Chain A
């Protein structure tokens, strides 16, 4: 599975939002209505899933699915 699809699947499971409605442009706050605590939990799930560490100050810049995919790609190199 592509990284992008894995991220969407994980977000879909965490937010109970149909994955068909989630794309790279989907915003965590505006589209998925996540609050700051939801974001922390979601990032923790990403860390577990992809085996990376996402520092707190980085999460502020991760506003959309696309941001997360780009960030994870940058980490995997």
Chain B
């Protein structure tokens, strides 16, 4: 079930990392409500075209911009070009992220850099690149995809957890800095969600995890998409600087 918010129709929303997983479900949910979804892609033109078609079939306009969230120059160029020639962007979902699970004692500096650069710095740079545009747009809402491990920590995920926790401080600062312009910024912390990443887990491990989740199951990407749509919509107009867990009660 996808909740419907009428004000998302024609709203122009950038979703990073929309190729798969949670990002793709968010993009599809927004398209189904008639939003104009802007997504970034790194290189594969054919895949980008296929995603654009899939999103348009779901019901809204879709535009692919070619940039990596770690490439500030390309990102600024693509975003500026879009916002100047097409339309101001009034919604942002900072979703692009990478993870590499390693024990702290094996964690290498370049692995830390890669995780922080994509998950934290990437989200900061996309938000920064859009900040001028945001001053001209109406009802701006930003959603940062953090993680439950950013709140509770997790063995073998020190760098990932640090990057996800960093997003919380960033989001709260943005929320305060731009609140006077009616811009809102919130964080979502998903727990275990069914994606390629968790499909790779062994059944035994999944059973163990399920025991620790009060609702007794993994969440779906559509459930995360629902919360994201709510935060992007004016339905959440008095919610800002908030951190919302969506984890079946895992971290109570």
- Please list the residues of chain A having a beta carbon within 8 angstroms of any beta carbon in chain B: 37, 40-41, 44
Main secondary structure of the interface of B (DSSP, over half): helix
Interface residue? B177 (CB, 8 A): yes
11 contacts between A and B (CB under 8 A): A37-B135, A37-B177, A37-B178, A37-B180, A37-B181, A40-B132, A40-B135, A41-B135, A44-B132, A44-B135, A44-B136
Contact with A along B130-146 (1 / 0, CB 8 A): 00100110000000000
B132 cross-chain contacts in A, Cβ below 8 A? 40, 44
B181 cross-chain contacts in A, Cβ below 8 A? 37
A41 to B181, CA, bound (A): 10
Chain B interface residue bracket vs A:
under 10
Q: Tell me the total A-B contact number using a CB cutoff of 8 A.
A: 11
- Please list the residues of chain B having a beta carbon within 8 angstroms of any beta carbon in chain A: 132, 135-136, 177-178, 180-181
B184 to chain A, nearest CB (A): 16
Main secondary structure of the interface of A (DSSP, over half): helix
A41 cross-chain contacts in B, Cβ below 8 A? 135
A44 to B181, CA, bound (A): 14
A41 to B132, CA, bound (A): 8
* Closest chain B residue, CB of each to CB of A36: B177
The 5 closest A-B pairs by CB, nearest first: A41-B135, A44-B135, A44-B132, A40-B135, A37-B180
* Closest chain A residue, CB of each to CB of B135: A41
B177 cross-chain contacts in A, Cβ below 8 A? 37
